[in-house]
């Protein structure tokens, strides 16, 4: 992170005590004063201990708490990673999901403008790409639109990044499989036939850094990047080959679907392809057709499959 490091500015990461925040903080420390926020004090203390960053409690669903935190921290940059992200929970408790992911994002956007924050970057998901299948995806699709729309209304530059599954992130398949494997050697999977985009947390961190470094070019838009995918059965088989044990199918959860989309069909006229650091990225705008649109959408069904060795590397890349 060198391009924007001339003056030590303050960067606040909402939900920075979570998996992404804890892994992003070290990449920003040195160039920025990094402040992480979260609600749960046990997790706040843990994040403080592992990152060495300042951590303060803040509930994004409460605008006064957001205002208090921004008054205290005076951030120049905000990375908005706070979210409730479990698809099945959001189907059962949609109100909580909307409070955190939609109202919380609105609160962050409103207070950022009020406090003249320079840049706000929202962290979105492939589940926000059309066709949206679940409440979590809808809530993140709204966050994307709130942020992209706010960009033209104030000095603050807003943008989002959108990506698929981060290996070893909180509550994702690999840590869950690890727990099951340690318990009785049997991994129970809800969707061996499903295909999912996967990359490492280092790649997620890199996408965030790329977005910050190129904020002038991407403001008001969503930046995504090419990702490979794996069929869950292949990932399971790779796990078993490398670590032993067995797997079996169990009943699916609400809100799940076989494939995910990073760029949906209806987004094509609004999406440009660009290259950053030799990697194909996609810049998605809303309501603004682009001169050279993408011609084919990107889904976990039509992207490149992760090779057995790439899957083994993901499995071995266990992170806290």
Pick 100 or 294: Cβ nearer ligand NAP: 100
Judged by beta carbon, residue 18 or residue 220, the one nearer ligand NAP is 18
User: Left if phi > 0, otherwise alpha if psi is -120 to 50, otherwise beta: which for 287?
Assistant: left
Asked if 214 and 278 count as a contact pair (C-beta separation under 8 A), the reply is no
Using CB under 6 A, list all residues that contact ligand NAP.
14-15, 17-21, 38-40, 43, 58-61, 81-85, 100, 104, 123, 125, 163, 165-166, 169-170, 172
* Tokens of residue 188, six digits: 């129970």
Chain residue at closest Cβ approach to ligand NAP: 18
Provide the minimum distance between the beta carbon of 204 and ligand NAP in the complex, in angstroms, as a whole number: 7
Q: How far is the CB of 132 from ligand NAP (least distance, A)?
A: 14
In terms of CB distance, is 115 or 290 closer to ligand NAP? Answer: 115
CB of 9: closest distance to ligand NAP in angstroms? 22
| Residue 38 · residue 57 · CB < 8 Å | yes
Q: Is 46 a catalytic residue?
A: no
Please, which residue, 10 or 170, has the CB nearer to ligand NAP?
170
Candidate list 46, 136, 226, 282, residue with the active-site label: 136
* 267 and 130 Cβ atoms separated by less than 8 Å: yes
The DSSP secondary structure of 256-293, one letter per residue, reads --S--EEE-GGGGGGEEEEEETTEEEEEE-SS---SS-
Alpha-carbon gap, residue 144 to 132, rounded angstroms: 13
Q: Which two tokens stand for residue 159?
A: 């943008």
57/245 with CB nearer ligand NAP: 57
List helix spans (H) across the chain.
Answer: 19-28, 41-51, 63-73, 87-92, 94-97, 104-114, 135-150, 173-184, 201-213, 215-218, 232-243, 308-316
CB of 14 to ligand NAP, least distance (A): 6
Residue 213 CB, nearest distance to ligand NAP (Å)? 19
Residue with tokens 């926020």: 37
Of 40 and 304, CB closest to ligand NAP: 40
Q: How far is the CB of 125 from ligand NAP (least distance, A)?
A: 4
Instruction: List the structure tokens of 313.
Output: 């590397």
Closest residue by Cα to residue 304 from 214, 209, 231, 245: 231
Q: Which residues are catalytic?
A: 136
């Amino acid at each position: 992170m060198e391009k924007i490091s001339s003056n030590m500015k303050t960067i606040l990461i909402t939900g920075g005590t979570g998996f992404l925040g804890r892994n992003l903080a070290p990449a920003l420390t040195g160039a920025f004063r990094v402040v992480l926020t979260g609600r749960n004090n046990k997790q706040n203390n843990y994040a403080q201990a592992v990152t060495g960053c300042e951590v303060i409690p803040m509930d994004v669903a409460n605008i006064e708490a957001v205002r208090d935190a921004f008054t205290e921290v005076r951030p120049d940059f905000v990375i908005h990673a706070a979210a409730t992200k479990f698809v099945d929970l959001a189907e059962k408790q949609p109100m909580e999901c909307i409070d955190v992911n939609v109202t919380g994002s609105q609160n962050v956007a409103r207070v950022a403008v009020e406090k003249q924050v320079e840049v706000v970057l929202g962290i979105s998901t492939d589940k926000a790409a059309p066709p949206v299948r679940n409440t979590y995806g809808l809530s993140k699709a709204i966050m994307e639109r709130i942020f992209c729309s706010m960009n033209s209304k104030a000095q603050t530059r807003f943008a989002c990044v959108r990506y698929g599954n981060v290996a070893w992130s909180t509550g994702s398949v690999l840590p869950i499989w690890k727990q099951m494997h340690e318990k009785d050697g049997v991994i129970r999977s809800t969707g061996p036939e499903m295909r999912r985009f996967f990359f490492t947390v280092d790649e997620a961190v890199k996408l965030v850094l790329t977005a910050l470094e190129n904020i002038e070019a991407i403001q008001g838009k969503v930046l995504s990047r090419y990702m490979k995918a794996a069929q869950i059965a292949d990932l399971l088989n790779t796990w078993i080959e490398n670590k032993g044990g067995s797997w079996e199918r169990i009943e699916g959860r609400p809100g799940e679907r076989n494939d995910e989309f990073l760029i949906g069909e209806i987004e094509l006229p609004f999406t440009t392809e660009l290259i950053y650091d030799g990697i194909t990225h996609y810049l998605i705008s809303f309501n603004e057709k682009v001169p050279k649109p993408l011609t084919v959408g990107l889904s976990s069904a039509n992207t490149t499959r992760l090779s057995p060795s790439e899957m083994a590397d993901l499995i071995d890349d266990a992170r806290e």
